Amino acid sequence: MYSWLEPLILGIVQGVTEFLPVSSSGHLELAKYFLGEDRLSDQSVYMSVVLHFATAISTIVYFRKEVLSLLDVRLLENRRYIAYILISMIPAAIVGLFFDELIESLFTNSIVLVACMLMITGLLLWFADRERKAFKSVGPKEAIIIGLAQMIALIPGISRSGSTISASIILGVKRENAAKFSFLMVVPLIIGKMLKDLLDGTSEEMLTGNFSQYLVGFVAAFITGLLACGLMVNIVKKAKLKYFTIYCFAIAIFTIIFYYLKG
């Protein structure tokens, strides 16, 4: 059973890494590994759901003006943007619906996989940071490719924000537009995941756990997520993704060395 400190740490890890391009799912797995929480796999799954929901709420709060503006569907521009978000959701939604068990299996004894995928994330960020011709808005073609990038990011260690923002910038999307679209496109998927959990009974199992622990994790993820969201938007605009390339490689190499030394 989690103590109050463990959900606090996991909440901070989720809040920071959901928006910074270093893979929140991968870092949650690393945090559980280093905290010795492998024996709590079921409880960890429920905590992860709560933490992802918290960061979805922080996204909505940070982009509240944009979200409220998009609700005015009388404007053609808003209808198109919503359509692009829906298009981008399709690949990940299909994989989530039909290959959910396969994806979940990747989170079992996956520390080396996470480390290797973090290196791939680092390479994506490096290529994106070198792109200097990012000037356009998201269109239907971009939405499909960005959606495919989000689908690949279901693998632990591949950063969702890193892969989608990198794909956007490489496609020529203006950096600020890339960050906004990347963060907004995941909100419907997270909410959809929560609804799926409500239907399959996961929420009832969650309610049997310690509510205060879920609350600690939720608040920690929400607050840190809100701060990290604003930080990431500024980082993307200033083209400083290369620093995260260094971080991803460093944490990946450290994890692999630690794993094999531990035996």
Widest distance between CA atoms in the chain: 60
- pLDDT tens digits along 86-135: 999 999 888 877 777 777 776 666 789 999 999 999 999 999 988 877 78
Supply the pLDDT for residue 54: 92
* pTM as predicted: 0.83
Pairwise CA distance, residues 160 & 185, whole Å: 11
Q: Residue 1 — pLDDT band, cuts 50, 70, 90? A: very low
pLDDT of 28 higher than 80: no
Instruction: Examine the pLDDT at 78 and tell me if it is beyond 70.
Output: yes
For 206, residues 6+ apart whose C-beta sits below 8 A from its C-beta are: 46, 49, 50, 197, 214
Domain boundaries, the chain: 5-262
Question: What is residue 43's predicted lDDT score, i.e. its pLDDT?
Answer: 52
pLDDT tens, residue by residue, 153-205: 988 899 989 999 999 999 999 998 999 999 898 888 777 777 766 666 555 55
More confident residue, 216 or 206: 216
- Do 248 and 122 contact (CB within 8 A), yes or no? yes
Alpha carbon distance 185, 90 (integer Å): 11
What average pLDDT does the structure give for the chain?
A: 84
For residue 229, what are its two tokens? 């969201």
